[in-house]
Each structure stands twice: as C-alpha cells, then as structure tokens.
C-alpha cells in the first residue's frame, strides 16, 4: 500500500471514502492551507493490472479530480508522452482519461530505463513546478522524482480546463465558418498536455458537429459550467 508522509505543520485529512475494494493500491488525503484545500493521491498500479483494476483506477481519477488535486505514483503505463501515444490499448485508454478529465501529466523524462512509469498528474497546470528526475532509489532501478507544489494558494494561473474551454470555443468558431482547420495561435491557449490529441480529434469534431449542430450549445455550456466550478 502506498504511503503519504506529511509535514506536521500542515493540516491534512485522510479521505477513505475515495477508496474502493477493486483498486486498493491508492491513498488519498486533503491538505489545507489558510484559504484552500488540495487533494493529494499516491497510487501504485501493478504491471500486470487487470482490465477491471484499470477501469476502477480511471474512475477514481475522474472522481478525485473534481476538486484541485495532485496524483502521483508508479502507474506502469508505457506511453510516449512527447507524442502522446501508448503502446497498448490500455495505455491509450489512460491517455483518454487524462484528456477527458482535463488534467496535466508533468513527468517528461524516463523514470526507469527509457520508460516514464512514475507520473505526476494535476488538475491545475501551473501548480507543479521544477519537476526533477533524480538518482535511483537504493538498490532499486526506479529513479526518485522531486517537484514543488506552488505554496501561495493552490490555484495559481488559469486551469487546464479554462484553457481548453477557450480552445473549444475557437474550434466552434471555425466550424461556424465552415473551416475545418484551427489557427495555431488559438491552439496555444490550450494546455500542452491535451493539444496534440486535440489536433488528432479535430477532423472527428468537424464531422460530428456538422451532423449534430444542435448539440454544440449544450456541449459548450457543459465545459463552461465545469470551468466555473473549478475556479470557484
């Protein structure tokens, strides 16, 4: 079972209700400062994880990231994070989970051999700073991850979701003009974590939105409401 060690000067509460019986290798707590609360999770996914376990892990991520959150741990997914491509279907499903929940994955250097197995995931893109992959831990071939969490409030900058909302609205503006491409200057507003996959999906969105124009307003309002909830 993973552990979280917290400085005694911080106020922290374990969140057992986020656990479930199907994926047990995860622990959650809420850490509070003077004005805000940050949810922190530590996870271990075994290399031979079952489909059921993987599905439960993705569901846990969906539930936990409804509030400001940082999740870290050894996920054992084989993903090229620079090109955002997974080796297997289960890796692609995890990438979809990252994008669908508008979270950012911050580790871009190998943590074991040539693979990025340890990850740091956050709901707020700018909350994580100075990610460093260090030396191997003891006799293990896994490398130590070090990083900083912004201390002056947990909501520094705009959230990944807010940036993606701008991106989607730019996409819709282009669709209204019967333009199947999106200007790169507008793409820069989206988070780097989701941008490449948004490019891959642009043709899909164009076709679907032309078929179901009536769904456009409802979809935009949904993303706007979720962005507002994250910022409140």
Tens-place pLDDT, residues 62-84: 989 988 899 999 999 999 998 88
Does 196 lie in the same domain as 85? no
Query: Domain count of the chain?
Result: 2
φ, ψ of residue 52 to 5 degrees: the values are -65, -45
Does 209 lie in the same domain as 103? no
> Domain range for residue 84?
11-149
Q: What is the pTM of this model?
A: 0.65
Alpha helices for the chain (secondary structure H): 51-64, 89-100, 160-176, 184-187, 192-211, 216-231
171-189 pLDDT, tens digit each? 445 545 555 444 444 444 3
> pLDDT-based confidence at 232, cuts 50/70/90?
low
Residue 74: closest CA among 14, 143, 7 = 143
Provide mean pLDDT across the span 190-218. 49
Residue 2 has what pLDDT?
79
List the single range of 43-52, 147-156, 196-205 with lowest mean pLDDT.
Answer: 196-205
Provide mean pLDDT across the span 135-148. 83
Q: What is the mean pLDDT of the chain?
A: 75
Contact call for residues 107 and 81 (beta carbons, < 8 A): yes
In a domain, 52, yes or no: yes
Provide mean pLDDT across the span 153-160. 43
Provide the CB-side half-sphere exposure for 171 (13 A, CA): 27
Does 203 lie in the same domain as 183? yes
> pLDDT-based confidence at 142, cuts 50/70/90?
confident
Q: Which tokens go with 196?
A: 């490449």
Does 140 lie in the same domain as 166? no
- Burial of 68 by CB count in 10 Å (0-12 exposed, 13-18 middle, 19+ buried)? buried
Residues 170, 163: Cα–Cα separation, whole Å:
11
Does 166 lie in the same domain as 130? no
Provide mean pLDDT across the span 116-143. 87
Dihedral sign of CA atoms 7, 9, 10, 12 in order:
positive
């Amino acid at each position: 079972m993973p552990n979280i060690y917290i400085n005694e000067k911080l106020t922290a509460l374990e969140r057992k209700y986020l656990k479930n019986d199907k994926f047990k290798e995860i622990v959650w707590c809420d850490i509070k400062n003077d004005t805000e609360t940050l949810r922190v999770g530590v996870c271990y996914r075994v290399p031979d994880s079952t489909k059921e376990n993987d599905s439960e892990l993705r569901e846990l991520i969906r539930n936990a990231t409804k509030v400001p959150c940082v999740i870290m741990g050894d996920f054992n997914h084989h993903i090229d994070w620079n090109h955002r491509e997974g080796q297997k279907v289960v890796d692609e499903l995890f990438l979809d989970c990252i994008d669908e929940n508008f979270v950012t994955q911050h580790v871009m250097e190998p943590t074991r051999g040539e693979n990025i197995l340890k990850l740091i995931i956050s709901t707020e893109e700018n909350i994580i700073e100075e990610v460093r992959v260090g030396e191997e831990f003891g006799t293990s071939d896994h490398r130590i991850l070090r990083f900083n969490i912004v201390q002056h409030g947990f909501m520094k900058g705009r959230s990944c979701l807010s940036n993606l909302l701008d991106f989607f609205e730019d996409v819709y503006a282009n669709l209204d003009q019967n333009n199947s491409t999106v200007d790169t200057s507008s793409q820069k507003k989206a988070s780097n974590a989701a941008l490449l996959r948004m490019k891959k999906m642009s043709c899909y969105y164009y076709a679907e939105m032309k078929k179901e124009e009536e769904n456009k307003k409802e979809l935009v309002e949904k993303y706007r409401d979720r962005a507002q909830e994250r910022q409140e």
